């Protein structure tokens, strides 16, 4: 057994450090020094216009190692953001790539900055992405192998492209890519626009900054050298007026939250009008799980990002779909404790929100280039077959762990029941989380939900929201002091309990209104009472039977709700307690249900709901934890 443990630890350690010896970093260079280094090392071709199949030209930067011998493998980064002008981060990424013998290509999505055409979220990945792979493969500098790389929007477009199985698309590294997922398994979030049928506010804020239908453009027919020169002093970036988002996000009706600022109608108005099951979600660039999968991938995800559940579900799907066996056999995931796209911030004395997580050191850049070296250069030893398919940071235990599948094979489902004597309201109520099922009738827990006084979001997984929510492991006691939050807490643990995997919740509920929301949160309570959020979920009650068949509630009836799963890896240490919160809002992270049963997005009318959570012998409510023994 000791020998086996030693082998596993050695394998994990090799996976964490592979490629580090050859890694070069340029993060310490000044912007001026980085540009000088790039000029010395690379042949730089700025703002080259590449035509797509419909004739629309997309602005593209090409960085080639100087004096390179023979065709090169290419790393392709596609983005809606301002990364083609002389930006420090683009310069450093290009330096990293060309120093390792790669061609590096960066392109703006159509309708963004120097690219022509009309903007569309994800930039037509099934056409523009495919056409660009073909263009790269045909260039004299290319060896015909392209790896796609990016985080957030620069990763999300890769997913639908992977279903196309382009012959040049040899490998991909999508980081924090959940907003590119339409439906996968139990998750039908339509690009994270929804969770459980509840709109997420982050995209309202994000679209205000990104969607500019009245944007400035360069004249047609400019000489490429002139365009490249213009990029030195004019990046065509719009600077919009600042917005007081904590106040603006409360605006009703919700579908006028941007037009109230004077914005012209654009993408927001189109998307906010769709239900979760609207067929129009299938017409854009989102990936759906009936599309197949054709590319080996190294996934980077985070416990405190906007979309950890769908990301892990898609990782599993890509391994199982088997439309291209080599691709399915070569899916790897890294899941860290960071927030959105902060994969370079791992290190000693890492803190998430209010929680110290110890040494989180992990060389993400080394893993990126090790994976590309294997697939684009044919260097099998760079990313050996012994690399675990899943590497994840376990919070509480504060260590990186490895598994061959998600959840880990030895995870067992353990059920904890929501129990009380009818007064689980707030941290000071009598709610308890018990491994023992109720054996008799128990009084329901009741609380009042007023949409005009919603429960505040504090921490958890989120991003890109203009400062409305700070993601991370923040203390929940301010929320738990409210009487409209039901709090269920276990007894202190006597031994460590590792919870790693998907977490399912079943609630039996009733209400006096036709529709309301039920929000759930999993919390780790330290001996001093600090309550660290681990994960959360929410479900709009009208969608309890599926998004395709919404149904209103009737007063007096009890309904069973099963929100989409949460996901985490956390060890509850001795003396710690497991806690579950239940309420009906988590705002501003999630848009409020106005409780009328009408269209929440176009209405200003609200109603106060009297909601109940039932937990008797005939209608138990519970949470199921994946426990790794």
Active site residues: 152, 305, 340
Alpha carbon distance 430, 77 (integer Å): 53
Q: Which of 257, 149, 155 is nearest to 207 (CA)?
A: 257
DSSP string, 34-59: HHHHHHHHEEEEEEEEEE-TTS-EEE
Alpha carbon distance 159, 157 (integer Å): 6
DSSP string, 192-261: TTEETTEEBTHHHHHHHHH--TT---PPTT--HHHHHHHTTT------PPP--HHHHTT-SSGGGTTGGG
Q: Are strands 287-288 and 181-183 parallel, antiparallel or unpaired?
A: parallel
Q: Which of 170, 147, 162, 146 is nearest to 285 (CA)?
A: 162
Task: Report whether 265 contacts 271 (CB < 8 A).
Answer: no
Alpha carbon distance 505, 503 (integer Å): 7
Q: Which of 464, 398, 469, 399 is nearest to 176 (CA)?
A: 464
3-state SS assignment for residue 477: helix
First-last CA distance in the chain: 16
Place of tokens 């329901």: 444
Task: Report whether 120 contacts 280 (CB < 8 A).
Answer: no
Task: Report whether 627 contacts 504 (CB < 8 A).
Answer: no
Say how far residue 183 (Cα) sits from the centre of its chain. 14
Task: Report whether 382 contacts 370 (CB < 8 A).
Answer: yes
Alpha carbon distance 200, 202 (integer Å): 6
């Amino acid at each position: 057994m000791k020998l086996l443990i030693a082998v596993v630890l050695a394998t994990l350690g090799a996976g964490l450090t592979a490629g580090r010896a050859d890694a070069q970093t340029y993060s310490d260079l000044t912007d001026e020094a980085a540009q000088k280094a790039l000029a010395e090392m690379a042949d730089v071709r700025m703002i080259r216009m590449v035509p797509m199949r419909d004739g629309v030209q997309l602005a593209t930067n090409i960085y080639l190692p100087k004096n390179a011998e023979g065709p090169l493998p290419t790393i392709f980064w596609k983005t809606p953001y301002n990364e083609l002008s002389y930006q420090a981060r683009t310069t450093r990424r290009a330096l990293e790539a060309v120093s390792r013998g790669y061609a590096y290509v960066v392109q703006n999505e159509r309708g963004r900055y120097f690219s022509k055409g009309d903007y569309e979220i994800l930039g037509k990945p099934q056409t523009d992405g495919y056409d660009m792979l073909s263009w790269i493969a045909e260039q004299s500098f290319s060896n015909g192998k392209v790896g796609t790389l990016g985080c957030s929007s620069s990763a999300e477009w890769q997913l639908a492209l992977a279903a196309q199985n382009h012959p040049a698309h040899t490998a991909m590294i999508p980081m924090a890519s959940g907003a590119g997922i339409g439906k996968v398994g139990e998750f039908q979030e339509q690009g994270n626009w929804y969770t459980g049928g509840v709109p997420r506010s982050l995209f309202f804020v994000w679209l205000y900054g990104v969607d500019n239908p009245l944007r400035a453009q360069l004249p047609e027919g400019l000489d490429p050298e002139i365009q490249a020169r213009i990029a030195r002093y004019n990046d065509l970036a719009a600077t919009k007026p600042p917005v007081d988002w904590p106040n603006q996000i409360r605006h009703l009706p919700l579908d006028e939250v941007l037009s109230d600022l004077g914005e012209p109608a654009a993408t927001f108005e189109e998307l906010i009008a769709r239900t979760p099951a609207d067929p129009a979600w299938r017409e854009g660039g989102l990936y759906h799980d009936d599309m197949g999968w054709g590319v080996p991938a190294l996934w980077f995800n985070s416990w405190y990002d906007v979309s950890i559940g769908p990301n892990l579900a898609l990782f599993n799907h890509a391994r199982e779909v088997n439309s291209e066996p080599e691709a399915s056999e070569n899916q790897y995931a890294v899941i860290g404790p960071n927030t959105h796209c902060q994969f370079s911030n791992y290190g000693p004395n890492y803190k998430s929100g209010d929680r110290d997580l110890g040494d989180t050191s992990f060389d993400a850049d080394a893993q990126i280039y090790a994976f590309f070296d294997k697939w684009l250069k044919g260097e099998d030893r760079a990313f050996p077959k012994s690399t675990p398919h899943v590497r994840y940071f376990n919070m509480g235990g504060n260590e990186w762990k490895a598994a061959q599948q998600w959840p880990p094979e030895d995870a067992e489902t353990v059920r904890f029941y929501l129990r009380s004597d009818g007064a689980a309201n707030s941290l000071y109520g009598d709610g308890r989380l018990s491994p023992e099922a109720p054996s008799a009738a128990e009084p329901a827990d009741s609380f009042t939900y007023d949409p005009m006084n919603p429960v505040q979001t504090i921490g958890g997984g989120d991003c890109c929201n203009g400062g409305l929510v700070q993601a991370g492991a923040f203390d929940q006691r301010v929320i738990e002091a409210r009487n409209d939050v039901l709090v269920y807490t276990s007894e202190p643990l006597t031994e460590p309990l590792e919870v790693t995997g998907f977490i399912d919740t079943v609630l039996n509920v009733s209400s006096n209104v036709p529709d309301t929301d039920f929000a759930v949160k999993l919390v780790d309570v330290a001996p001093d009472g600090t309550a660290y959020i681990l994960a959360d979920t929410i479900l709009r009650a009208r969608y309890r039977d599926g998004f395709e068949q919404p149904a209103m509630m009737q007063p007096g009836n009890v309904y069973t709700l099963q929100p989409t799963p949460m996901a985490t890896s956390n060890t509850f240490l001795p003396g710690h307690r497991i806690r579950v919160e239940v309420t009906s809002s988590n705002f501003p992270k999630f848009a409020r249900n106005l409780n009328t049963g009408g269209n929440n997005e176009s209405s200003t009318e609200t109603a106060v709901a009297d909601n109940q959570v039932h937990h008797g012998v005939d209608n138990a409510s519970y949470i199921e934890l994946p426990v790794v023994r």
